[in-house]
Structure 1
Amino acid sequence: MTNVYLRKKIAPRIANGHPWIFGNEVERVSGPVEAGDIVDVFFADGKLAGRGYVNPKSQIMVRLLTRKQEEINDQFFFNRIAGAWSYRQNLGYTENCRLIFGEADYMPALIIDKFNDYFVLQTLSLGMDKWKPAIVKALETIFSPKGIYERNDVPVRELEGLTQHKGFLSAPFDTNIIINENGLRFHVDIENGQKTGYFLDQQDNRRAIQHIVKDAEVLGAFTYTGTFEIHAAYYGAKSVLGLDISENAVAQANRNAALNGLENICRFEAMNAFDVLKQWGKDGRQYDVVMLDPPAFTKSRENIQKAITGYKEINLRGMKLIRNGGFLVTSSCTNLVQPDLFLQTIEMAAKDARKKIRQVTFQAQASDHPIIWGMENTNYLKFLIVEVTDR
């Protein structure tokens, strides 16, 4: 087997368990290297760092799959997926869950979402893509699924020399399905929805609004397919208005409201939230609860400041629309904006809006998306509820 030897001066994160090894951390490679091959990685003192797959064309040259000198084969992937499923079952995630969350499940660059009997996967690196047949075989053996679909239509694959594509990895099936969540039902478009078709990472957080929305007038922005807003209506809101710039998302959100018999309480309109919230603030509109769940504002470190400015602005506008003693529900899925920085940004927004805030709850993503300490990309979602009062 080809061996990769690390420089003496490397980031401590590798010794501490992080699976990424960048090209500039490698001293030398002993043996032939073909992209996607399994290699052994050694520290400068000769001790084993782990075993993983290599891609000399990628900025991340090696992604470690194990710290042991164990064989990487079909059985290895079966065991990892079976172990991940056991973990989810122990936590109570049995119907819908993120079955594999990349590095957090010791399977770098692999995402698998389970929607009842259907599975959607993403293989985001060349090394993981080569094991796709083994992964599909494991899913079929463990679950006997009704269908498996790949959503590899993501630009990050091109950094690995891979093409973007999507399609069936099982016999074809109707990719418009319905799932159950917290007593509600939602349409999921596996083929054309964002990411893998549905955002499972907020499923626990959606329950957190239960008490603050009762008898409230609620405004939601960046609603996508309306899950937070429909939960608000279900939990007893007086009225709910959801906004999203996408006509398709709004159409599906209204379908979801009707699916749950909540269309008379909850409605959605296609609007640009940034523009609308600013204008409505000037108009003096007021709500008891404002919910903001925007998309990631940046994927590069160079634009972090721009992202912070965006989060501050949208939250400031949201706070100005809240009646005295109402609540702001706000999220950030930008993993480069760490939790402390996000909280500071909300605090700055409150000061500029001349509001006092009191934290109700601050949470991360659902527990089926586990967090590994020291791996910042696994601790990406920030979910905050604050009470908002006048100064």
Structure 2
Amino acid sequence: MSALVILKKHEDKRIIQGHLWAFSNEIQRVEQPGEPGCVAELRSSEGKPLGVGFYHPHSLIAFRLLDKDPQAVIGREWFERKISDALARRGRHYPGSRSFRLCFGESDGLPGLVIDRYDSILVLQVLSAGMERCLGHIEQALGALLKPRGILLKNDVESRRLEGLPLEVRILSGEVPETVEFEEDGIRLAVCPQKGQKTGYFFDQRDNRSFLRPYFKGRRVLDLYCYVGGFALNAVFAGAAEVLAADSSAKAVELARHNAKLNGFQDKAAIQKEDAARMLEAFSRGELPFNPDMVVLDPPNLAPTKKSLAPALRLYARLNTMALSGLKTGGLLATASCSHHLPRGMFAEMLREAAMRAGKTAHLVALRSQA
């Protein structure tokens, strides 16, 4: 083991309870420290072994737990076992599907690693120095388990800078076409992983798209920040009476229209390049030509940092207030936030206040999360 990380007194409690991180101010000392991201053993202040993980001397998240077995060898076989477990979980949740979020960091015991599967194409986001050092093992494990046509590294995430890692997008192995097609819950989709947002598609909203299908039936649906059309196409698929989708990105609108054609929905969903906030302003004043009774609001990350939380919360409040103002009695609002700095409780309170400002009585149908 290249390093031994000793926690301060009582700082082992969260680790024992299942938390996977130790912060730099919780560490008493480090013996034989290695390079950033090296594999290290973690022990309590009394010397009790707590497991092995990645140690980074210059990161606020100084230790990321990988395995509670202090003898675990973090190599190809270890990654193959962990990814195989994640694959089995997705197989139970999405039987027969070949496209989904295969690995979601800590939730799959792989802190700092996101893997999205688009049939035979895999897109990875490596968010920690430790995972970066293990990239060869990860590639080998994925090759053995899935034999992918190609693996793309979509490492353009700003949080990599906190680990001292460069931002890059490159093909790790095989071939990755500019446009990748796949199927999700009966809908064909085309995305551009190399140039699109995140890994190319928002797999984290998959369960929510499926959940909303019964609510779409027979309704006039306005899908704002539609990106490549995930919610809009699900609305058509589920039997919505009318669908209008909008995004400010010309490339996203082009892909959304292409995806509508892929499914034969081009005459059933109007997809426009428009600013969502301006459309909501018109809707709230009763001036939008389209009169929806259901609004889907899935804006981009408005609070990428803690410092941006306050202005982001004001913008979330404004957008949701306008959406609620325009909806008539019996209307539905499906609204989301992908800002991890915005706690769920704060988001729910913002919605309560938005309903008050809109002069509407709102009933919470469901409070959901990412897939």
Per the shorter chain, which TM-score range? Answer: over 0.9
Of residues 317-326 and 207-216 in structure 1, the stretch that sits farther from structure 2 once superposed is 207-216
Q: Find the counterpart in structure 2 of residue 163 from structure 1.
A: 166
How far the C-alpha of 1:139 sits from its partner, in A, is 0.7
The one of 303, 320, 330 aligned to 1:315: 320
Q: Find the counterpart in structure 1 of residue 45 from structure 2.
A: 44
Q: Find the counterpart in structure 2 of residue 89 from structure 1.
A: 91
CA–CA distance in structure 2, aligned partners of residues 148 and 209 of structure 1: 32
Q: Find the counterpart in structure 1 of residue 368 from structure 2.
A: 363
The answer to whether 1:325 aligns with 2:327 is no
CA–CA distance in structure 1, aligned partners of residues 233 and 326 of structure 2: 20
Q: Find the counterpart in structure 2 of residue 72 from structure 1.
A: 74
How far the C-alpha of 1:11 sits from its partner, in A, is 7.4
Q: Find the counterpart in structure 2 of residue 188 from structure 1.
A: 191
Of residues 270-279 and 4-13 in structure 1, the stretch that sits farther from structure 2 once superposed is 4-13
Contact 1:290 1:321 in 2 (8 A): no
How far the C-alpha of 1:150 sits from its partner, in A, is 0.9
In the superposition, the TM-score normalised over structure 1's length comes to 0.89
Q: Measured at CA, do residues 21 and 237 of structure 1 come closer, stay the same or move farther in structure 2, by a change above 3 Å? A: same
- Quick one: which amino acid aligns to residue 271 of structure 2? F
Q: Give aligned-pair identity as a percent.
A: 35
CA–CA distance in structure 1, aligned partners of residues 156 and 330 of structure 2: 44
Q: Which runs of 5+ in 1 are unaligned?
A: 367-391
How far the C-alpha of 1:320 sits from its partner, in A, is 1.7
Q: What secondary structure is seen at the aligned counterpart in 1 of 2:190? A: strand
How far the C-alpha of 1:140 sits from its partner, in A, is 0.7
Q: Which runs of 5+ in 2 are unaligned?
A: none
Q: Measured at CA, do residues 304 and 143 of structure 1 come closer, stay the same or move farther in structure 2, by a change above 3 Å? A: same
- Quick one: which amino acid aligns to residue 263 of structure 1? Q
Q: Number of paired residues?
A: 366
Q: Find the counterpart in structure 2 of residue 200 from structure 1.
A: 203
Contact 2:52 2:67 in 1 (8 A): yes
Q: Which has the higher strand share?
A: 1
How far the C-alpha of 1:250 sits from its partner, in A, is 1.0
How far the C-alpha of 1:167 sits from its partner, in A, is 1.4
The one of 292, 297, 300 aligned to 1:292: 297
Deviations 1:53-103 (A, max 9, x none): 112122222211111111222211111111111121122353112111111
Q: Measured at CA, do residues 98 and 341 of structure 1 come closer, stay the same or move farther in structure 2, by a change above 3 Å? A: same
Deviations 1:290-333 (A, max 9, x none): 11011121122333332222222111111122122111111111
Contact 1:150 1:166 in 2 (8 A): yes
Contact 1:218 1:290 in 2 (8 A): yes
CA–CA distance in structure 1, aligned partners of residues 126 and 135 of structure 2: 7
- Quick one: which amino acid aligns to residue 186 of structure 2? G
Contact 2:121 2:176 in 1 (8 A): no
How far the C-alpha of 1:50 sits from its partner, in A, is 1.7
CA–CA distance in structure 2, aligned partners of residues 61 and 325 of structure 1: 50
How far the C-alpha of 1:341 sits from its partner, in A, is 2.1
Of residues 140-149 and 213-222 in structure 1, the stretch that sits farther from structure 2 once superposed is 213-222
Structure with the bigger RCO (C-alpha within 8 Å, sep 6+) is 1
- Quick one: which amino acid aligns to residue 17 of structure 1? G
After superposition, residues 146-161 of structure 1 pair within 5 angstroms as 146-161=149-164
Q: What secondary structure is seen at the aligned counterpart in 2 of 1:287? A: coil
- Quick one: which amino acid aligns to residue 84 of structure 1? A
Q: Find the counterpart in structure 1 of residue 271 from structure 2.
A: 268
Of residues 137-146 and 273-282 in structure 1, the stretch that sits farther from structure 2 once superposed is 273-282
The one of 248, 268, 280 aligned to 1:277: 280
Q: What secondary structure is seen at the aligned counterpart in 2 of 1:210? A: helix
- Quick one: which amino acid aligns to residue 189 of structure 1? C
Q: Find the counterpart in structure 1 of residue 353 from structure 2.
A: 348
Of residues 46-55 and 205-214 in structure 1, the stretch that sits farther from structure 2 once superposed is 205-214
Q: Find the counterpart in structure 2 of residue 132 from structure 1.
A: 135
CA RMSD of aligned residues (A): 1.6
How far the C-alpha of 1:42 sits from its partner, in A, is 0.9
Q: Find the counterpart in structure 2 of residue 382 from structure 1.
A: none
How far the C-alpha of 1:275 sits from its partner, in A, is 2.3
Of residues 133-142 and 162-171 in structure 1, the stretch that sits farther from structure 2 once superposed is 162-171
CA–CA distance in structure 1, aligned partners of residues 348 and 117 of structure 2: 31
Q: Find the counterpart in structure 2 of residue 243 from structure 1.
A: 246
Q: Find the counterpart in structure 1 of residue 19 from structure 2.
A: 18
Deviations 1:207-236 (A, max 9, x none): 222233223222111111111011112222
CA–CA distance in structure 1, aligned partners of residues 191 and 12 of structure 2: 41
The one of 251, 255, 260 aligned to 2:258: 255
How far the C-alpha of 1:238 sits from its partner, in A, is 2.2
CA–CA distance in structure 1, aligned partners of residues 138 and 100 of structure 2: 17
CA–CA distance in structure 1, aligned partners of residues 339 and 114 of structure 2: 18
Q: What secondary structure is seen at the aligned counterpart in 1 of 2:91? A: helix
